[in-house]
Amino acid sequence: MSKLVTIYGGSGFVGRYIARRMAQEGWRVRVAVRRPNEALFVKPYGVVGQVEPVFCNIRDDASVRAVMHGADAVVNCVGILAESGKNRFQSVQAEGAARVARIAAAEGVQTLVQLSAIGADAQSPSAYGRTKAAGEAAVREAFPRAVILRPSVIFGPEDDFFNRFAQMTRFSPVLPVVGGATKFQPVFVDDVAQAAVAGVLGRAAPGTYELGGPDVETFRDLMKMLLRVVERRKLIVNVPFWVANLIGGALDLVQTATFGLLANKTLTRDQVRNLRRDNIVAPDAKGLADLGISPTAMEAVLPEYLWSFRPSGQYASIKASARNLRKT
């Protein structure tokens, strides 16, 4: 019988790529999610019955244990960028990661891959960074041979980074940027998935890997690249941190006052704190090269999914060709 991997958060942005690759490796894949009915799209990743979405609440021991039973490997992709309802940084990223690692050790799971973030730091000014670090520490304690992956900002067709700003270019005359000088090292989602698969298959030595693409750019330069790809001219406006903090605080207050009915999905104070720090691979860190993975450049991928935000959409290249014909 083929081996089984349980992927917590396996229908999310990164998890779905890991699930697809594990299916291609011939493994049975159990996709553990809160809403299995919304994750049915993962089933065609393999043959009939090979990839199955199952219910799991990472905040509950019994739920985590039930979907892990019989698994040879576990990948934890669960994480949040902003708090909402019962999903708090502490309960999801710290306690949730600890729970998965503790139960994996008790269940005799062979390999564990934990998806963290470069911003993980016990001394981080943001709760996001501190709880990511707490989750890592708990994983190392319960499962010392775990593989921990720390990606920079991840890009790909379903990302919430380039897609969000590209959407703004359709309606806004300006692109507001908080922390324009902050540096990022965007990494392609499928490169992260390959790293996770390497961990599951035992091709990665236990330890922590920081994952970044071939290019290091400031936030402002990333927006310039975005505008070139979507073929739009917009004014990039740098928002001072103190102004961004006021905006984030106001939006956080609205969420609290409405008991989460109006969730703050725009900008939180915690995200502003995160944007004060560079998000790049440390010089001495193990990375994609140590896993035998060549990082994918943004310029090779962004046009493939951001073309829909161009003024002429899929007809942009046709119009460009027509203009060139007229010139000749």
Distance CA 164, CA 294 (A): 27
CA–centroid distance for 93 within its chain: 13
Mean pLDDT computed over 203-232 = 97
Work out the pLDDT band at 108, boundaries 50, 70, 90. very high
Q: How high is the pLDDT of residue 326? A: 60
Q: State the average pLDDT over residues 112-126.
A: 96
Express each pLDDT in 241-267 by its tens digit. 999 999 999 999 999 999 888 889 899
Residue type, 222: L
Please indicate, yes or no, if residue 56 is contained in any of the structural domains: yes
175, 237 in Cβ contact below 8 A? yes
Res 328 pLDDT > 70: no
Please give the Cα distance from 307 to 225 (Å, whole number): 13
> Mind listing the pLDDT tens digit for each residue in 19-32?
999 999 999 999 99
- Cα separation, 143 vs 162, whole angstroms: 35
| E strand or H helix at 51 | strand 51-55
Predicted local distance difference test score (pLDDT) of residue 327 = 61
C-alpha dihedral (124, 128, 131, 133), degrees to nearest 10: -50
Number of domains comprising the chain: 1
Closest CA to 102 of 58, 133, 151: 58
Whether 266 is covered by a domain: the verdict is: no
Instruction: Write down the mean pLDDT value for the chain.
Output: 94
Q: Which of 56, 133, 140 shows the shortest CA–CA distance to 102?
A: 140
Q: Is the separation of the CB atoms in 71 and 109 below 8 Å?
A: yes
* Coil vs helix vs strand at 259: coil
pLDDT value at 223 more than 80: yes
Give the model's confidence band at 318: pLDDT under 50 very low, under 70 low, under 90 confident, else very high: low
Residue 323, pLDDT > 90, answer: no
Residue 108 lies in a domain: yes
Alpha helices (runs of H) in 69-185, residue ranges in sequence order: 89, 95-107, 127-142, 162-171
pLDDT in tens, 61-70: 999 999 999 9
Would you state the pLDDT for residue 85?
85
pLDDT computed for residue 259 by the predictor? 87
> The CATH number of the domain where 99 resides is what?
3.40.50.720
Tokens of 82: 């902003």
Collapsing DSSP to helix, strand or coil, 208 comes out as: strand
Examine residue 48 and state whether it is found in any structural domain, yes or no. Answer: yes
Reported as a pLDDT band with limits 50, 70 and 90, residue 113 is very high
Stronger pLDDT, 170 or 323, i.e. the higher one: 170
Report if residue 238 sits inside a domain: no
- What's the CA gap between 148 and 75, in Å, rounded? 10
Q: Is residue 149 part of a domain?
A: yes
- Structural domain that includes position 82: 4-154+187-212+279-293
pLDDT > 80? residue 15: yes
Residue 50 maps to a domain: yes
Strands (DSSP E) contained in the chain are: 4-8, 28-33, 51-55, 73-76, 111-115, 147-151, 154-155, 174-178, 183-184, 187-188, 207-211, 217-218, 235-239
Find the mean pLDDT for residues 290-311. 96
Q: Determine, yes or no, domain membership for 320.
A: no
Q: Is the dihedral of CA 18, 20, 21, 22 positive or negative?
A: positive
